[in-house]
Amino acid sequence: MNVEWIHPGLLLILGAWVLPFLKGRAKQAAMLILPGAALIDCLLMTPGTYGVTSLLGQDVVFGRADSLSLIFSYVFSLLALLGMIYALHVDDDTQHVAALTYAGGALGVTFAGDFLSLYVFWELMAISSALLVWLGRERSAVAAGFRYLLVHVFGGLILLAGIIIHWSQTGSLAFGDMEAFSGGLGWALILTAFLLNAAVPPLGAWLPDAYPQATVTGAVFMTAFTTKSAVYVLIRGFPGTDLLIWLGAAMAIYGVVYAVLENDARRLLAYHIISQVGYMVCGVGIGTELAINGATAHAFAHILYKALLFMGAGAVLQMTGRRKLNEMGGLYKTMPLTLGLYMIGGFAISAVPLFSGFVSKSMVVSAAGEEHLGAVFLMLTLASAGTFLHTGLKLPYYMFFGREACRPGGPERVEGREPPRNMLVAMALAAVACILLGVLPETFYRHLPYFSDYVPYTLQHVTNALGMLSFTALGFFLLLKHLDPEPTISLDTDWFYRRGSTGLMKLIKGPLTRLEYGFVGEIYEFAIQRPVLGIAERLRRFDSRIVDSSLVGVGRLTRSLGLVLKPAISGQTQHYGLIMAVGILALVALVVFAL
């Protein structure tokens, strides 16, 4: 163990509590120094094992640094820095403490070498991220935050149960490749908990429900840490699990389909998180070196371009108060910088050549092709086209141009202006990162878990991508009338939650109510209420007749004794000495008599 090692996650978690004691420029400086220091700490870290301690005979490893954990730590700490730049104008200590704690928890999960330390940071992430939703301070945000927390607490309980079962079966809490335990109950519970955090349907309805309700700045952090830390632990523990191939491919299509129906800008982007995480989950399931590299690279790229997209949508929300696409329009004139920066994120997520998504997403798709998974290859390709259709075309078109918002009879024209400078700076830095990753993929690939000789810029790959994007754009403008956003709320697997809760309420209000006031009520009155009231009455009588009478008698005796002793109080010391001597002689006489 290297005693000089400093955990970057603890830098953020503990350092966050300094912020409430600072003011003005000092606070803003600390907001940048903390994630900056964590980033430097990660960049300077060399592979090895750090922070090892012993608990209950088990090694608890807080610092397992290898190529996989290091590349995730780079992007997690970088996003924490960009997120704090984006939030510099916000005067809310609770938001900043929660955001930094959330980022620190993600770094803790990344470096965890055992299940115990992983679980602690896993739960810390759930609590701190729920706070970012509640701080939206609207009724819908509070409700979404409670649901978010309940889902993740439930997931944490599943994870804990899996860890305990795994420990009882193996005697070890070490966290690594779980293939040797495949099919066991502990293995299944741990995998389920990880899939819940990855928002794999039908376990992912919490994501589009909670993320749009978070604060403008808090949502940027939420796009990065929960789902991508889940991807990290899936890569670490479940590579090559066949089930993940089909779950990931289904996710990629699922998110795109529901984005078609969405009117809320941030909710649309949230559905595309599910779609893009599907590529990563699919890559983990394929399990080859190319696929694992692709899942890792795409997680890295996704964190940056999705943060940029949420920054753009958040800027519009903050400056206009609007989040519904059918209520927006005309912002390209007053927010041109926001539009330009957002489009870089839109090109990146759509895998346009020279942008980050092109060099990361294609690795997973190519891995599916190499393994002759034709159906999966087709599903991922179709999902990529759908992503460009909605995130790269539909959302910016209606948000910044908004044909419906400008015509007679439609909603009034939305007025807006560019957001604060710090928000634009954060967006610009994220945009630069998206371009650099796309232009310099070889430098990027050197940090992936396995050696990579993958070449994304081949003539066939570039022409195929440009052809697909061109036809998607053509289809968008030809079908524009049919893509107009509708002021509706789409239900995905929420349908089961809502129908289930409706059925439960009917059960509570109907049969259970009658049962309570009928059969259960009679049993309660006969078996509990009457005996308890009878015992209480007997205790009352005992208290009034015996306890109270005894206390009154003691009081009267004390008063009588005081009247007897009153004449003996003369103020003379020798009299008091004589009384004490008589008392001692009386006590001695009683003892002798007793013997």
Written as one string, the DSSP assignment of 341-403 is HHHHHHHHHTT-TTSHHHHHHHHHHHHHHHTT-HHHHHHHHHHHHHHIIIIIIIHHIIIII-H
pLDDT at position 405 is: 45
pLDDT at position 406 is: 42
pLDDT at position 591 is: 60
Give the confidence band of 166 by pLDDT, cuts at 50, 70, 90.
very high
pLDDT tens-digit map of 409-435: 444 556 678 899 999 999 999 999 999
Report the C-alpha gap between 233 and 238 in whole angstroms.
8
pLDDT at position 349 is: 93
Q: For residue 70, give every residue at least 6 positions away whose Cβ sits within 8 Å of its Cβ, in sequence order, or none.
A: 42, 45, 47, 447
Residue 278 dihedral angles phi and psi, to the nearest 5°: -55, -40
Bridge pairing between strands 58-65 and 48-55? antiparallel
Lowest mean pLDDT among 193-202, 445-454, 582-591: 582-591
Instruction: Give residue 327's Cα distance to chain centre.
Output: 29
491-498 contacts, C-beta under 8 A, 24 or more apart: 492/201, 492/205, 492/208, 492/254, 492/258, 493/201, 493/202, 493/204, 493/205, 494/205, 494/209, 496/202, 497/205
Give the confidence band of 592 by pLDDT, cuts at 50, 70, 90.
low
DSSP result, 173-232? -B-S--GGGTTSHHHHHHHHHHHHHTT-TTS-THHHHHGGGS-TTHHHHHHHHHHHHHHH
pLDDT tens-digit map of 253-291: 999 988 888 888 899 999 999 999 999 999 999 999 999
Give the confidence band of 168 by pLDDT, cuts at 50, 70, 90.
very high
Residue that wins the pLDDT comparison between 516 and 541? 541
The domain limits of the chain are 1-235, 239-451+476-484, 511-594
pLDDT tens-digit map of 217-267: 999 999 999 999 999 999 999 999 999 999 999 999 999 988 888 888 899
Average pLDDT of the chain is 86
pTM across the whole model: 0.82
What percentage of the chain carries pLDDT values higher than 90? 61
pLDDT at position 409 is: 46
pLDDT at position 408 is: 42
pLDDT at position 524 is: 60
DSSP result, 558-571? HHHHHHHHGGG--S
Reference 415, options 333, 486, 338; nearest CA is: 333
pLDDT at position 181 is: 92
pLDDT at position 440 is: 94
Mean pLDDT of 123-151: 92
- Report the sign of the C-alpha dihedral through residues 77, 457, 346, 267, in that order: negative
Mean pLDDT of 70-91: 96
Give the confidence band of 331 by pLDDT, cuts at 50, 70, 90.
confident
pLDDT tens-digit map of 475-532: 888 887 777 777 666 667 766 666 666 666 666 666 666 665 556 566 666 666 677 7
pLDDT at position 483 is: 72
